[in-house]
């Protein structure tokens, strides 16, 4: 009810709400109100985990690129070492 009143007073301007309390302080039904965007600790946890997973995947890709380039460099060094001096 309070959020609905606040939305009316704000002329339906979007309202971003963060409920960081455990247990929750804001009713979950508030998220169903138009122009009210409710985020909880669980939502933030999911965002952090998604970000962490993305960084891990990027690090794995970077590591594969580095391994490939190091192998190419070593091959070049070995090929140069096998060539007879002029």
Q: Note the pLDDT tens digit of each residue in 3-28.
A: 988 988 988 899 999 999 999 999 99
- The domain in which residue 39 lies consists of 2-82
Query: How many CA atoms within 13 Å lie on the side-chain side of 68?
Result: 6
Q: Which two tokens stand for residue 86?
A: 């002029």
Give the residue-averaged pLDDT of 24-46: 93
Place of tokens 């409710």: 38
Q: Which two tokens stand for residue 56?
A: 């891990």
pTM above 0.85, yes or no: no
Q: How far apart are the C-alpha atoms of 7 and 35, rounded to whole Å? A: 8
* Number of independent structural domains in the chain: 1
Q: Can you give the CATH number for the domain in which 36 is found? A: 3.40.50.720
């Amino acid at each position: 009810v309070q959020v609905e009143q606040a939305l009316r007073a704000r002329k339906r301007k979007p309202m971003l709400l963060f409920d960081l309390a455990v247990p929750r302080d804001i009713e979950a039904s508030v998220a169903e109100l138009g122009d009210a965007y409710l985020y909880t600790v669980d939502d933030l946890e999911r965002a952090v985990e998604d970000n962490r997973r993305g960084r891990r995947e990027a690090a794995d890709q970077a590591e594969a690129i580095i391994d490939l380039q190091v192998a190419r460099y070593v091959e070049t060094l070995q090929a140069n070492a096998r060539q007879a001096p002029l």
